Amino acid sequence: MSNKTFSIGQNIQRIDAHGKVTGETPYPGDIDMDGQLWLKIRYSDRAHARILSIDTSRAEALPGVVAVFTAKDVPVNEYGLVTKDQPVLCGPGSNIPGADIVRCYMDNIAVVVAETEAIAAQAIKLIDVEYEDLPTVFDPEAAMQDDAPQLHEKNPNNILCHYRIRHGDIEAGWAQADVVVEGFYETGYQEHAYLQPEAGLGYIDEEGRVTVVVAGQWAHEDMWQISHALGLNDDQVRVIYPAIGGAFGGREDMSVQIVLALAAYRLRRPVKTIWSREESILHHHKRHPIRIYAKWGATKSGKVVAVQAQVIGDAGAYNYTSSKVMGNANLTVSGPYEIPNVHIDTYGVYTNNIPTGAFRGFGAPQAAFSAESQMNKLAEALNMDPLEIRLINSVREGSILSVGTPLPAGVSMPQVIEQCGLESFWKKVGERWQYNPPTQPENPALRRGRGIACGYKNIGYSFGFPERSWAAIELRGGVDIEEVIVRAAGADVGQGAHTVFMQMAADAVGVPFHKVRLIASDTAETDTAGSASASRLTFMSGNAIRGAAAIALEKWANEERPAIGEFLYRPPKTTPYDPMSGRSEPNFAYGYACQAVEVEVDIETGHVRIIKVISANDVGRAINPQQVIGQIEGAVVQAQGYALMEHLISDQGRIKNPYLSTYLIPTALDIPLEVKSVVLEYPDPIGPWGARGMAEMPFLPFAPAIAAAIHDATGVWLNQIPFTPERIVTALRKQGIGVV
Ligand code: MOS
């Protein structure tokens, strides 16, 4: 076979483009089966209470109701992606201690299965639940106090996780510092707001397997959790993902999967459910609100010599991925910088709020908001250029992280910062960087400013998690290879992963793209690829596909027809944090990003218009450049909502604005006038064709870059996300700016 590149690096049209544009593609909510029943969930009416009894008789008596299931019907009544700390259905009578307690409003209590959706919706209201109220706690710092109500027996003071970093000698660091900047940062919830709310269909397939057609991020993990809860073997359960209308981390934890499987298993009939937008917002996890107390010290020459931080994340009532998200925040809160003395304490804390978990960036956006704002404030205090101070401190090849170990090879942070500067508002004059300020508008109420920030994030699972990804390649034909069948389970959540898998398979085998066929996201047809998360699928499945292709080609050369190669890719091992020092080998690969932005602030209204965003991203190798640019633009717009608009309000554990009419995300009229994607290709030494993951990275620098630009425009720092017009006006008025 020739090694000639056929499709990698090309803008191959996405395989799902046509069907999605024409509306022909079925999503889980569009798939129906003859004789299907409808399922609706009865949710908790309390933030914290013991359920004394559940009376389902009135619901069961309603004509058209087929069944009502409660906790006693769930064989193993627990689930959870990282720790199984959540009951499938809360209530008495199950085998799991503590499953009779609701810990937040999103808890599920009962499911009704009926002939129609309307009957099921009516019947859930007829379920009578008797509660004994328990004391509540909604503030994570209050929850850590000794007298706070306890949510989970195994977690004293509601501490789900605590990570420490003790690197160098922090006191020696302060002694060396000429300037110290302290900051307090607070971030808000973010709702994933994917296009398609949760939906699915459960049924018994032709081989008798309990099958769930649903949208998720890791089909095999869904299968393992369903089989655990139902007390079945893995081969008795099947999970299939059809088209998925966005995920962003919001489908990493499960929603309708187990209850659909339970109902189909018990009733032996197809059972369907579709959540409303309100149900979706109220009943899947959110991005973590995090409070960060930060203190950074630097010498006159701009070298950061000490970083101290306390990071407190509100995990809500269950873990979801909080213990992992906070681990990543702990690592990234000192920024992509080599700092000799670091002292960090990071906590994830249970409260009676809605659970929080994965969302694009996985703790790094909140951490980057603190780290990059601190860096920008240090630059201001030292009267230095913000780009120059970053280059002085940036991690480089061989840099030692705060966890005491070197970064994996392929560190490109300085190059990414420099390219971002050159493509935006800086030029290099000799050894110095010169910033070019914006022209101010004639209207004195409008102030323009520019800002910069950078960030880095892991690719793949961290801190010792057993990371692996399976793929198979089947070569068919006689003399020539006529067809290549790729099996790779990875979820295409809308990011274009399936097209990229096929491009990589085509090149690995050495055939044109049109000869490749993909079988994905059906647990009956594939082994695990791991999740569509941590920006990992291109990297992990790419390496798996490459390994499988090599084996298949060898068999092909030995005249096997068809020639089938299977490969389980395992990246270099990582290790967990040492509990005292935080020492670890946290990750095997990273991606690097830097953004410069220009904004226009209306000092009378507090409204911010984004004039221009320059986003420089090292993607290692752009397998499909058009998809890479799509990810950058998507991340920028999603980060814009996060930084400026999206304000989810929770009061005593209850979300007050679970509608897209009151929780505002950016529309076409809000988005930046220009996003310039600067795609850099510094190969990752172990990435397939050099590719790094890249989907999360352009989210990270955006909020702190905007904060810096608002400061450049007006002189005020915004330290609380989102930067709503109210908050901006309040900050401006405090400084006497914009008073009419
Ligand atoms: Mo993602 S936030 O790693 O699903």
- Give pLDDT tens digits for 412-451: 999 999 999 999 999 999 999 999 999 999 999 999 999 9
Q: How many Cα atoms occupy the beta-carbon half-sphere of 25 within 13 Å? A: 16
- The helix-helix angle for 413-423 and 386-393 (nearest 10°) equals 160
Architecture of domain 290-462+579-734: 2-Layer Sandwich (3.30)
| 722 prior amide bond cis, ω within 30 | yes
Residue with tokens 């699972």, as numbered in its chain? 461
Q: In angstroms, what is the span from residue 708 Cα to ligand 1's centroid?
A: 26
| Cβ atoms 109, 59 nearer than 8 A | no
Of all protein residues, whose CA lies closest to atom 4 belonging to ligand 1? 249
In the sheet that holds 101-102, the strands lie side by side as 101-102, 49-55, 128-133
**CB atoms inside a 10 Å sphere around CB 446:** 16
Q: In angstroms, what is the span from residue 532 Cα to ligand 1's centroid?
A: 7
Q: In angstroms, what is the span from residue 362 Cα to ligand 1's centroid?
A: 6
| Cβ atoms 681, 618 nearer than 8 A | yes
Q: In angstroms, what is the span from residue 251 Cα to ligand 1's centroid?
A: 9
Q: In angstroms, what is the span from residue 635 Cα to ligand 1's centroid?
A: 13
Domain ranges in the chain with CATH number 3.30.365.10:
17-25+468-569, 290-462+579-734
Predicted confidence (pLDDT) at residue 2 exceeds the cutoff of 60: no
Q: In angstroms, what is the span from residue 321 Cα to ligand 1's centroid?
A: 9
User: What's the mean pLDDT in 400-423?
Assistant: 98
What pLDDT does residue 6 have?
A: 85
Residue with tokens 């993902």, as numbered in its chain? 241
Its CATH class, for the domain covering 17-25+468-569, is alpha beta
CA 540, 542, 546, 551 torsion-angle sign: positive
Predicted confidence (pLDDT) at residue 725 exceeds the cutoff of 50: yes
User: What's the mean pLDDT in 324-351?
Assistant: 98
Q: Which helix (H) or strand (E) holds 164?
A: strand 159-167
Predicted confidence (pLDDT) at residue 4 exceeds the cutoff of 70: no
CA distance 398 to 391: 15
Q: In angstroms, what is the span from residue 320 Cα to ligand 1's centroid?
A: 12
Ligand 1 atom with minimal separation from the 536 CA = 3
| Candidate from 194, 244, 252, 457 with most ligand 1 atoms within 8 A of CB, to mutate | 252
Predicted confidence (pLDDT) at residue 3 exceeds the cutoff of 60: no
Q: In angstroms, what is the span from residue 359 Cα to ligand 1's centroid?
A: 5
**Chain centroid offset of residue 381 CA:** 34
Pocket-forming residues, ligand 1, beta carbon under 6 Å: 217, 249, 252, 358-360, 362, 533-534
Predicted confidence (pLDDT) at residue 649 exceeds the cutoff of 50: yes
What pLDDT does residue 477 have?
A: 98
Q: What letter does residue 349 receive in the DSSP assignment?
A: E
For all residues of the chain together, what is the average pLDDT?
97
Domain ranges in the chain with CATH number 3.90.1170.50:
34-134+202-274
Q: What is the pLDDT of residues 536-552, one digit of tens each?
A: 999 999 999 999 999 99
**Chain centroid offset of residue 382 CA:** 35
Quickly list H helices, 351-445. 364-382, 386-393, 413-423
What pLDDT does residue 740 have?
A: 59
Q: What is the pLDDT of residues 497-517, one digit of tens each?
A: 999 999 999 999 999 999 999
Ligand 1 atom with minimal separation from the 359 CA = 2
Predicted confidence (pLDDT) at residue 1 exceeds the cutoff of 60: no
Predicted confidence (pLDDT) at residue 629 exceeds the cutoff of 70: yes
Ligand 1 atom with minimal separation from the 358 CA = 2
Residue positions counted in the chain: 740
Q: In angstroms, what is the span from residue 244 Cα to ligand 1's centroid?
A: 15
Q: Where are the beta strands (DSSP E) in 681-721?
A: none
Residue with tokens 């010599």, as numbered in its chain? 305
Q: Which helix (H) or strand (E) holds 730?
A: helix 725-734
Q: In angstroms, what is the span from residue 306 Cα to ligand 1's centroid?
A: 30
Q: In angstroms, what is the span from residue 393 Cα to ligand 1's centroid?
A: 28
Ligand 1 atom with minimal separation from the 360 CA = 2
Q: In angstroms, what is the span from residue 92 Cα to ligand 1's centroid?
A: 34
Pairing relationship of beta strands 446-458 and 179-186 according to DSSP bridges = unpaired
pTM for the predicted model, two decimal places? 0.98
Q: In angstroms, what is the span from residue 247 Cα to ligand 1's centroid?
A: 9
Give me the CATH topology for the region 34-134+202-274.
Answer: Aldehyde Oxidoreductase; domain 3 (3.90.1170)
Could you tell me which residues come within 8 angstroms of residue 667 by beta carbon, excluding any fewer than 6 positions away?
none
| Candidate from 222, 284, 322, 360 with most ligand 1 atoms within 8 A of CB, to mutate | 360
Q: How many Cα atoms occupy the beta-carbon half-sphere of 121 within 13 Å? A: 8
Ligand 1 atom with minimal separation from the 247 CA = 4
Predicted confidence (pLDDT) at residue 290 exceeds the cutoff of 70: yes
Predicted confidence (pLDDT) at residue 203 exceeds the cutoff of 70: yes
Q: How many Cα atoms occupy the beta-carbon half-sphere of 59 within 13 Å? A: 28
CA distance 699 to 691: 19
| Candidate from 461, 533, 590 with most ligand 1 atoms within 8 A of CB, to mutate | 533
| Integer CA distances (angstroms), 431 to 385, 397, 427, in order | 13, 21, 10
| Integer CA distances (angstroms), 472 to 328, 526, 545, in order | 32, 8, 7
One-letter-per-residue 3-state SS of 585-600: CCCCCEEEEEEEEEEE
Q: In angstroms, what is the span from residue 384 Cα to ligand 1's centroid?
A: 35
Q: Is 436 exposed, middle or buried (0-12, 13-18, 19+ CB in 10 A)?
A: exposed
Ligand 1 atom with minimal separation from the 248 CA = 4
Q: Is 147 exposed, middle or buried (0-12, 13-18, 19+ CB in 10 A)?
A: exposed
